[in-house]
Amino acid sequence: MYNQTVMDHFENPRNVGEIPDASGVGEVGNITCGDILRVYIKVNEGKLEDVKYMTFGCGAAVASGSMMTELAKGKTIDEAMEITNNSVAEALNGLPPQKKHCSNLAADALHKAIEDWQKKSADKE
């Protein structure tokens, strides 16, 4: 059902965990399947210095979160906002059609974490 890239990110997920002093946190869930993904970002000089995630979900959700962190880490805020649900799925070399919604969680949670950081930054000004 899953290709080698998806299986690698599922069996060996990258960047799992929390960032205690995160610059921003974003969480999304899918009511239909029950998957939940939370993303923590650490922003330094306009770049994502660190990105971590935690998920409650299927193998595709775990793999999508892992791949999203790999795509986002080190990127500028603008570059990270360009990461889409499709780019996560493409980087995983595709997901089965019934699991495509799992990649939607990763990019959406990343964007929410960035929006959280932007709001916190604006509140400080």
pTM greater than 0.75: yes
Q: How many domains does the chain have?
A: 1
The token duo for 100 is: 């495509």
Which of 7, 25, 33, 54 is the catalytic position? Answer: 33
Question: Does any domain span residue 124?
Answer: no
Question: Does any domain span residue 104?
Answer: yes
Question: Does any domain span residue 38?
Answer: yes
Q: How far apart are CA 61 and CA 106, in angstroms?
A: 8
Burial track 39-51 (b if 16+ CB lie within 10 A, e otherwise): bbbbbeeeebebb
Q: How far apart are CA 7 and CA 63, in angstroms?
A: 7
- CA-based nearest residue to 61, from 90, 99, 113, 28: 99
Farthest CA pair distance, the chain: 49
Question: Does any domain span residue 30?
Answer: yes
Determine whether 33 is an active site residue: yes
Determine whether 58 is an active site residue: no
For position 87, which CATH number holds? 3.90.1010.10
Statement: residue 24 has pLDDT above 90: yes
- Express each pLDDT in 88-98 by its tens digit: 999 999 987 77
Half-sphere exposure in the Cβ direction for 16 (13 Å, CA): 13
Coil, strand, or helix at residue 47? strand
How much is the CA Rg of the chain, to the nearest whole Å? 14
* Residue span of the structural domain in which 103 resides: 4-117
Reported residue count of the chain is 125
Which of 43, 68, 89, 102 is the catalytic position? Answer: 102
pLDDT value, residue 98: 74
The token duo for 58 is: 């299927």
Question: Does any domain span residue 125?
Answer: no
- Express each pLDDT in 49-59 by its tens digit: 999 999 998 88
